[in-house]
Amino acid sequence: MSPVTKDQVLQALSGVMDPELRKDLVTLKMIKDVEVQDSTVSFTVELTTPACPLRTQIQKDAENAVLALDGVDSVNVTMGARVPQDEKITDLTIRNIIAVGSGKGGVGKSTIAVNLAVALAECGAKVGLMDADIYGPNVPMMMGVNALPPTPQGKKIQPAEAYGVKVMSIGFMVTTGQPLIWRGPMLHSAIKQFLMDVDWGELDYLVVDLPPGTGDVQLSLMQTVPLSGGVVVTTPQQVSFDDAARAVAMFKKMEVPVLGIVENMSYLEMPDGSRRALFGEGGGEQLARAAGAPLLANIPIDEKVGAGGDSGKPVVVSDPGSAAAVVMNALAMDVAARMSMEISG
């Protein structure tokens, strides 16, 4: 029997579909480094996003497709991730910059940003978390870090690190409780420094926790770097919807793809399994329809979420089996999938 050829391997893999993108792996140029050694075939599947929620299914489908070829006894699949060379910030490679915003304060935006970053890191991605909320930097407390490591002479600022996530915040640089009375130029300078002068290294995702509203910080960020996508956090109330709609409009005006809407504090789960909508219903769904974007998650009210933020242990780490943590982990996978679809057009 003649040994299988590379062309036959590619032909077999052309029948394997990416479930999210609905195109085959060969057309998407996701197959790299095909090698045939006797009856063993090896190749790499280059995913469009490192935290792809369907990576296991894609790997299994690819293996089975090639194993079905006559003359193939074993298949070695390496799962990788695409590195776009045109998305470099100075000498750093940051593949995806995801901004988490809201129209008003008090909707749990920082909580979502923190748990999203940690959940992505737990999937094996290289993740950074930038606290751009200059006036109310809560990320250090929520991540359980209170200081930056020493900066070597002549080197860039070293970010803090917790739960596998690199962290930067103005909160590391000011005294607790110290008010910051900054205007446009100073805000722009701080945001630029957080991006350009911090040793982020190579990241798959940089999650940016924006301040609430649509002010100078948001504009400075969008003018400094190309954002890969935005996530808008709201609550069920009508007043939150009205404010969050402005955040959606801001992203669209700046040509930033809206990856989706997150409705926080959606419901309280009762002991009998029923749900109580303490703050109304439908705000997230209504905003998603208006934005033409998916409703990514309905986060339940859970005291463990607040406790995790206060103790510096995000709920996806402190209580991964809780209802809120399960939903937030699913949110991270959905964001990764949406990012994958954006990258592939």
Confidence of residue 284 (pLDDT cuts 50, 70, 90): confident
- The CATH number of 6-81 is which of 3.30.300.130, 3.40.190.10, 3.40.50.300, 3.40.228.10? 3.30.300.130
pLDDT at 53: 66
pLDDT at 90: 43
The vertex-195 CA angle with 176 and 223, nearest 5°, equals 110
* Nearest-angstrom CA–CA distance, 156 and 154: 7
pLDDT at 186: 65
Task: Look up residue 53 and give its DSSP letter.
Answer: T
| pLDDT, mean of residues 31-37 | 92
Half-sphere exposure (Cβ direction) of 127: Cα atoms closer than 13 Å: 26
Residue whose C-alpha is closest to residue 214's, from 166, 265, 248? 248
Residue whose C-alpha is closest to residue 20's, from 245, 338, 236, 249? 338
Tell me which amino acid residue 345 is.
G
CA 48 to chain centre: 13
pTM of the model: 0.76
Q: Which residue has the tokens 């993740």?
A: 127
* Nearest-angstrom CA–CA distance, 302 and 318: 13
Residue 248 has pLDDT above 50, yes or no: yes
Domain boundaries, the chain: 6-81, 88-344
* Nearest-angstrom CA–CA distance, 109 and 233: 6
Domains 6-81 and 88-344 share a fold: no
Q: Which residue has the tokens 């780490």?
A: 317
Residue 225 has pLDDT above 90, yes or no: no
Confidence of residue 244 (pLDDT cuts 50, 70, 90): confident
Residue whose C-alpha is closest to residue 309's, from 209, 174, 178? 209
Q: 217-242 burial by CB neighbour count: b if 16+ within 10 A, else e?
A: bbbbbbeebebbbbbbbbbbbeebbe
What tens digit of pLDDT does each residue of 49-81 get?
A: 666 667 888 999 999 999 999 989 999 998 877
Kindly give, in sequence order, each residue whose CB lies less than 8 Å from that of residue 11, ignoring residues fewer than 6 positions away: none
Whether the CA torsion 56, 61, 64, 69 is positive or negative: it is negative
What tens digit of pLDDT does each residue of 87-143 get?
A: 434 445 888 999 998 877 788 899 999 999 999 999 889 999 999 887 778 899 999
Q: How many residues does the chain have?
A: 345
The phi and psi torsions of 256 (rounded to 5 degrees) equal: -100, 120
Residue whose C-alpha is closest to residue 88's, from 180, 203, 165? 203
Of 1-15, 166-180, 200-214, 285-299, least confident by mean pLDDT is 166-180
Q: Which CATH superfamily hosts domain 88-344?
A: P-loop containing nucleotide triphosphate hydrolases (3.40.50.300)
What tens digit of pLDDT does each residue of 296-335 get?
A: 999 999 988 988 889 999 999 999 999 999 999 999 999 9
Average pLDDT, the chain: 85
